[in-house]
């Protein structure tokens, strides 16, 4: 099964993220305790964190991490990407024969995060709540 979605992020939030990714001076660095995370929950219960990770002495980096329910409760990391330098674009991970795809795009002047699911036929729908999808709106 392939799960696919577009995550629209407000331009004002992307400006902050891109500032960290392109930081050149100490007062511009994100710092290690200020990770920015956007989470997409898939209908099968797994979720992907798309992260902008900070450093104390250099520009930030990005990654995507896929989590699944752990046997003893909670969640465990099951797949992750290599570190990257861009937040926008395509993030895809696989687990147990399933593919989890999120394309992060600039949502322009939208106020909050928005999600659009992509059907196997390529049809984009914003009726993601009815399909069992969820996003962290923080």
Give pLDDT tens digits for 60-107: 999 999 999 998 889 999 999 999 999 999 999 999 999 999 999 999
Here the tokens at position 86 are 């861009």
Helices (H), the chain: 11-21
Do residues 136 and 38 make contact, with C-beta atoms less than 8 angstroms apart?
yes
56-60 contacts, C-beta under 8 A, 24 or more apart? 56/29, 56/31, 56/32, 57/26, 57/29, 58/23, 58/29, 59/20, 59/21, 59/22, 59/23, 59/24, 59/29, 60/17, 60/20, 60/21, 60/23, 60/29, 60/30
Map out the domains of the chain as residue ranges: 2-135
Give the residue among 95, 131, 116, 110 at the shortest CA–CA distance from 7: 116
Residue 121 pLDDT exceeds 60 = yes
pLDDT band at 120 (very low <50, low <70, confident <90, very high): confident
> Mean pLDDT across the stretch 119-126?
72
* 3-class SS of residue 21: helix
Are β-strands 98-106 and 2-9 bridged in parallel, bridged antiparallel, or unpaired?
parallel
> What value does the mean pLDDT of the chain take?
90
For the entire predicted model, the pTM comes to 0.89
Give pLDDT tens digits for 4-28: 999 999 999 999 999 999 999 999 9
């Amino acid at each position: 099964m392939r799960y696919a979605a577009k995550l629209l992020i407000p331009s004002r939030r992307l400006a902050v993220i891109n500032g960290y990714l392109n930081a050149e001076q100490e007062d511009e660095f994100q710092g290690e305790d200020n990770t920015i995370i956007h989470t997409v929950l898939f209908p099968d219960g797994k979720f992907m964190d798309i992260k902008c990770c900070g450093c104390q002495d250099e520009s930030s980096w990005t990654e995507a991490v896929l989590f699944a329910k752990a046997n003893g409760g909670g969640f465990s990391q099951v797949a992750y990407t290599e570190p990257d330098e861009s937040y926008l674009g395509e993030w895809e991970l696989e687990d147990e024969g399933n593919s989890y795809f999120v394309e992060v795009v600039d949502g322009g002047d939208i106020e909050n995060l928005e999600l659009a699911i992509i059907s196997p036929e390529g049809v984009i729908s914003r009726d993601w709540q009815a399909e069992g999808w969820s996003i962290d709106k923080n």
